[in-house]
Amino acid sequence: MSAGDDGDRVRAFTEFRERMNERILAEPNQVVRRFFALDTQAYQAGALDVATKELLGLVASLVLRCDDCISYHVARCRDAGVGRDAMFEAFSIGLVVGGSIVIPHLRRAVDFLDRLESGADAPPDGHHHD
């Protein structure tokens, strides 16, 4: 697969996420809308800084094995200044806690990180919602 295809795939995914988030938030369901707001609030700086909170979101996503959530938090960690070594230490904790069933997700996470680092992808924008 060429880098161009990769870029297209990431753009298609990002476009889908943005479009569906708007669609969901336009719905007159207050519980869903409040949940999305809470999801954003949970990662804001407090006693713990943003980088640590995004790492927490990353490891939670790894052990629960959700590729979209993992990609999202990998990008956010990177935006928050988490380096590759630190990212791999977080991966290693997710792997040890969650077991070998995490490995296929780890492969895709590393692939996504590689592409981010090679500049193939624009990072997702600032809204949370995994």
Residues near its own copies, by CB under 8 A: 16-17, 20-21, 23-24, 27-32, 34-36, 38-39, 41-43, 46-48, 52-53, 55-57, 59-66, 68-69, 83, 85-86, 88-104, 106-108, 110-111, 114, 129-130
CB of 122 to its own copies, least distance (A): 19
- Nearer to its own copies by Cβ, of 37 and 122: the residue is 37
We find the least distance from the C-beta atom of residue 92 to its own copies, in angstroms, to be: 4
Nearer to its own copies, 60 or 120 (CB): 60
- Kind and range of the H or E run holding 6: helix 3-25
Give the span between the Cα atoms of 56 and 41, in whole angstroms.
14
Judged by beta carbon, residue 15 or residue 122, the one nearer its own copies is 15
DSSP 53-121: HHHHHHHHHHHHT-HHHHHHHHHHHHHTT--HHHHHHHHHHHHHHH-GGGHHHHHHHHHHHHHHHTT-S
Specify the residue, 93 or 123, whose C-beta has the smaller distance to its own copies. 93
Single-letter code of the amino acid located at 64: L
